[in-house]
A and B are shown apart, each in its own frame.
Chain A
Amino acid sequence: MSYFSDIYKGIKTLLTGMSVTGGYFIRARKGAITQQYPDNRETLKMFDRFRGEVVMPHNADNRHYCTGCQSCEIACPNGSIEIIWDRAVDPETGKKKKKIDKHIYHLSMCTMCGLCIEACPTDAIVWAPNFENSVYDRSKLTKILNQPGSSVLDGIED
């Protein structure tokens, strides 16, 4: 007898499970959370804290906030940031002041830990929500964050 009751119980449990899937089958639209990713590029908005890549914002006059203090370079765990700097002579006071020549960011090595942005005393670098980073050539992932001809805003000191 237990043979038949086992079959009965077995089929019952299977039907219980299928009632769950069947419920979703009937109201499939309601529970759907899948994003149609490449087609929804226009409406897709990442969260404002999303860590996509490090960028250096510039204002309209091609000025940025980076003083070249190298805090980010020291904070970076794997050398994704390299800063090439030199000293510029201040025309008024005649003093030599540190300034960045190139702020090099290796996106290919970056682990998105966020330590550089935490370390930056002047908020010169921020996260950008770009995540479509695939390129055909690896060298394209090495970026120079400061734009050509840019300089630090007046009055920014570290």
Chain B
Amino acid sequence: MTDQQTQNKIKTEEYFINMGPQHPAAHGVLRLILTIDGEIIKNVEPDLGYIHRSIEKMCERDSYQQIVHLTDRMDYLSSHINNEAVCLTVEKGLEIEVSDRVKVIRTIIDELTRIASHCLWWGVMGMDLGALTTYFYAFRDREMINDIFEETCGARLTMNYNVPGGLMFDIHPNFVKRTKDFITHFKTKIPEYDRLLTGNVIFQKRTKGVGILTREDAISFGVSGPTARGSGFSSDVRKHHPYSAYDLVNFKEILFTEGDTFARYQVRMMELWESVSIIEQLIDNIPEGETKAATKAVIKLPKGEFYQRVETARGELGVYINSTGNKNPYRVKFRSPGFSNLSVLNHISKDVLIGDLVATMASFDFVIPDIDR
């Protein structure tokens, strides 16, 4: 019998397999229902809801100060940026102008958050593809940022440092020194990351040409953040709609046109350098000023709709508040980056191997509580 005849005789059929909700390669409780033929994926259906906490509904119950701490729990790796998004929206509604000091401190901490988040992503991406060492190296450097946050904000992950009108309290006296120490330390470590993982032949073979997302698809699916920039879609909110102190600093928007997993990887690695550069520009001249603008104890937004978007480590986070003039919002909606980015997964994962799906997912940098809220 020839090979052709053998192939014709073997009857294959598609079957379903659950990837998750407890899968080591999915960073959280995301359940993907895969339709597979052998090892070829025919369809990916994400099933959400395992970590839904109805944060948007809870916001309708809470006062504007109380909403802030809930957003910590959405994208917990960029919790400071989420806090800032809510605060900026409320400040927009109240028409408060925060001081330059607050703006600069917010920007520095945003970028530290971004570095911490990208560090974790880098470690976990290596781990997903079988390189366990990256995880430990990334966490070693992330630990320094966590210490900075712990000293200034009191918490390591869910900081809740922003309040509508400014910051909860001033930065710790050690903040500047620690941040500078970290920057000097980290600048020697990014080349090490590259030597360890970026050039590795196994890593390159598993990421180059895998999970190609075209620019058109990125735009039509509403993909944002580093994932979109890996496909050449210029979508950086910091650049296009600057908030806080981003209009004071020079930084490049990293764009790659390949659109594959390796391009997305490179965008994030280059963004580490950009974040370092932004912090360096700001850390030496934090202006003096008040850390909290005077707000009423009970904040009431005027009647109307308010929207503000920020760039988190994963993409564009939009906060929509609909107010009827009460102390609670009438409706709050978060446009989270993870949800839109997940929607394109099925589109780009057709007819690829299961192992490649893991690589693609790792490069998307999903945080499941951000998708589910």
Interface residues of A (CB under 8 A from B): 9-10, 13-14, 16-17, 19-21, 31, 33, 47, 49-51, 75, 77, 111-115, 118, 127
Contact = CB atoms under 8 A, between A and B. Distances in A.
B151 A49 contact: yes
B70 A77 contact: yes
B69 A14 contact: no
Interface of chain A: mostly helix, strand, loop or mixed: helix
A115 B65 contact: yes
Contacts of A115: 65-66, 69, 160
Contacts of A77: 62, 66, 69-70
A127 B154 contact: yes
17 contacts: A14-B201, A17-B195, A19-B195, A20-B196, A47-B147, A47-B154, A47-B172, A51-B154, A77-B69, A111-B158, A112-B154, A113-B68, A113-B69, A113-B72, A115-B66, A118-B163, A118-B168
A112 B160 CA distance: 9
Interface string B157-181: 0101001000010001000000000
B200 interface: yes
Nearest to A34: B140
Given A21-B133, A33-B143, A115-B69, A51 B199 contact: no
A9 B133 CA distance: 21
Interface string B334-355: 0000000000000000000000
B197 interface: yes
B150 A47 contact: yes
Nearest to B65: A115
Given A20-B192, A118-B163, A33 B200 contact: no
Contacts of A16: 195, 199-200
B69 A13 contact: no
Contacts of A14: 200-202
B155 interface: yes
B153 interface: yes
Given A17-B200, A33-B140, A33-B143, A114 B195 contact: no
B196 A17 contact: yes
Contacts, number: 69
A33 B141 CA distance: 10
Interface residues of B, number: 31
Interface of chain B: mostly helix, strand, loop or mixed: helix
Given A113-B69, A118-B168, A50 B196 contact: no
Contact of A49 (B65, B133, B153, B196): B153
Contact of A114 (B150, B168, B204): B168
Interface in B198-245: 199-202, 204
Nearest to A77: B66
Nearest to B73: A111
A10 B201 contact: yes
A60 to B, nearest CB: 28
B152 interface: yes
Given A16-B199, A17-B200, A47-B147, 13 more contacts: A13-B200, A13-B204, A17-B197, A21-B133, A50-B150, A51-B154, A112-B155, A112-B158, A113-B72, A113-B160, A114-B160, A115-B160, A118-B168
Contacts of B160: 112-115
Interface in B76-129: none
Contacts of B153: 49
A36 to B, nearest CB: 15
A47 B151 contact: yes
Contact of A17 (B143, B154, B199): B199
Contacts of A20: 192, 195-196
Q: Which of B133, B197, B204 has the most CB of A within 10 A?
A: B133
B196 A9 contact: no
B70 A13 contact: no
Contacts of B172: 47, 49
A30 to B, nearest CB: 12
Nearest to A46: B150
Contacts of A111: 69, 158
A114 B143 CA distance: 22
A65 B199 CA distance: 61
Contacts of B196: 17, 20-21
Nearest to B193: A20
A47 B192 CA distance: 30
A13 B201 CA distance: 6
Q: What are the 9 closest A-B residue pairs judged by CB atoms, nearest first?
A: A113-B69, A77-B66, A10-B201, A49-B154, A51-B154, A47-B151, A13-B201, A113-B160, A20-B196
